[in-house]
């Protein structure tokens, strides 16, 4: 009995598609609290094996472009919120966290490429509190993925729509209010920078210098965090807990090549060649 090549191809695609879906599910599962804690505590070395290639590069809009295994894994996992976190610059702990994910859409027409729509559910994590487990909101991510020969993610191009609206729900703060913006810099951002960026990693001589420098910069919006603004530094200050020698310059006065103003044509269009090697990275072979 002969088995048609189309049936064999379908069986192969089904197997590879299932593996790709499993790999992506593992990635989103690692963003969930408390699964994300090892990466926040120990950096990229704590990333579960086989998720990302050592040469992984990609873009997460509106956050920016990321090159290499360390960058990619830290921005995927270490930025996930930690409930009840305290310390310098945290006047009132926020108990919200990603506690589950939903893979609403998945397609993979070949072993190398897949696309997804995922939601990360945000709930209150405060055991003993009447609000523990209460639903807050969810964040959406649309992504294209390319895998290497081992099944690890080599390239990714993801978008988080309506990030500003999600942030408002997550924090309950109106960051369009100038008074709130000022308070965020004075009582939140600068105290965290000064506590974490010390010694060789110091970027401001004092908290007063930090405040004066950052009050002179545009606050920005979470729908376009990539820029020489405050919201970019609010994102990157989280990562100063992981690799301060790398991330402290990003929250400094110059932005350290991360929190800097980018030309749209360069950052979002021309850089595709540098990030992905071609404009066909997310096409199946032969398409």
Per-residue pLDDT reduced to its tens digit, 4-50 = 444 434 444 566 788 899 999 999 999 999 999 999 999 999 999 99
Quote the pLDDT of residue 287.
67
Please state, in angstroms and as integers, the Cα–Cα distance from residue 4 to each residue in 7, 9, 10, following that order.
5, 9, 10
Specify whether the CB–CB gap between 103 and 17 falls below 8 A: no
In this structure, is the dihedral angle defined by the CA atoms of residues 36, 73, 51 and 161, taken in order, positive or negative? positive
Quote the pLDDT of residue 14.
63
Written as one string, the DSSP assignment of the chain is: ----HHHHHHHHHHHHHHHHHHHHHHHHHHTSTTTTHHHHHHGGGGSPTTSEEEEEEEEEETTEEEESHHHHHIIIIITS--TT--STT-SS---EEEEEEEEEEEEEEETTEEEEEEEEEEEE--TTSTTTT-EEEEEEEEEEEEE-TTS-EEEEEEE-TTHHHHHHHHH---TTSHHHHHHIIIIIIHHHHHHHS-GGG--SSSHHHHHHHHHTS---BTTB--SSSHHHHHHHHHHTTT-HHHHHHHHSTT-TTTSS---HIIIIIIHHHHHHSSTTTTS-TT-
pTM: 0.90
Quote the pLDDT of residue 268.
73
Quote the pLDDT of residue 100.
98
Residues of the chain with pLDDT under 50: 1-12
């Amino acid at each position: 009995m002969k088995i048609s090549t189309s049936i064999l191809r379908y069986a192969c695609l089904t197997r590879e598609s299932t593996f790709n879906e499993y790999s992506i599910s593992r990635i989103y599962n690692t963003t969930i609290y408390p699964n994300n804690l090892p990466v926040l505590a120990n950096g990229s070395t704590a990333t579960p094996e086989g998720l990302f290639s050592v040469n992984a590069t990609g873009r997460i809009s509106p956050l920016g472009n990321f090159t290499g295994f360390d960058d990619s894994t830290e921005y995927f996992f270490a930025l996930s919120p930690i409930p009840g976190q305290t310390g310098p610059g945290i006047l009132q702990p926020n108990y919200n966290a990603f506690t589950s994910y939903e893979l609403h859409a998945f397609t993979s027409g070949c072993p190398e490429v897949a696309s997804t729509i995922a939601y990360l559910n945000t709930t209150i994590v405060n055991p003993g509190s009447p609000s523990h487990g209460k639903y807050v909101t969810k964040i959406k991510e649309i992504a294209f993925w390319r895998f290497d020969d081992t099944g690890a993610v080599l390239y990714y191009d993801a978008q988080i729509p309506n990030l500003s609206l999600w942030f408002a729900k997550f924090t309950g703060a109106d960051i369009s209010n100038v008074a709130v913006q000022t308070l965020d810099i004075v009582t939140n951002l600068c105290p965290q920078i000064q506590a974490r960026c010390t010694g060789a990693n110091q970027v401001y001589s004092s908290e007063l210098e930090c405040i004066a420098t950052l009050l002179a910069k545009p606050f920005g919006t979470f729908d376009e965090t990539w820029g020489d603004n405050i919201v970019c530094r609010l994102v990157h200050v989280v990562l100063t807990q992981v690799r301060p020698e790398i991330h402290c310059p990003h929250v400094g006065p110059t932005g350290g090549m991360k929190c800097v103003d980018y030309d749209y044509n360069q950052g979002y269009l021309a850089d595709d060649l540098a990030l992905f090697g071609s404009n066909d990275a997310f096409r199946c072979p032969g398409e």
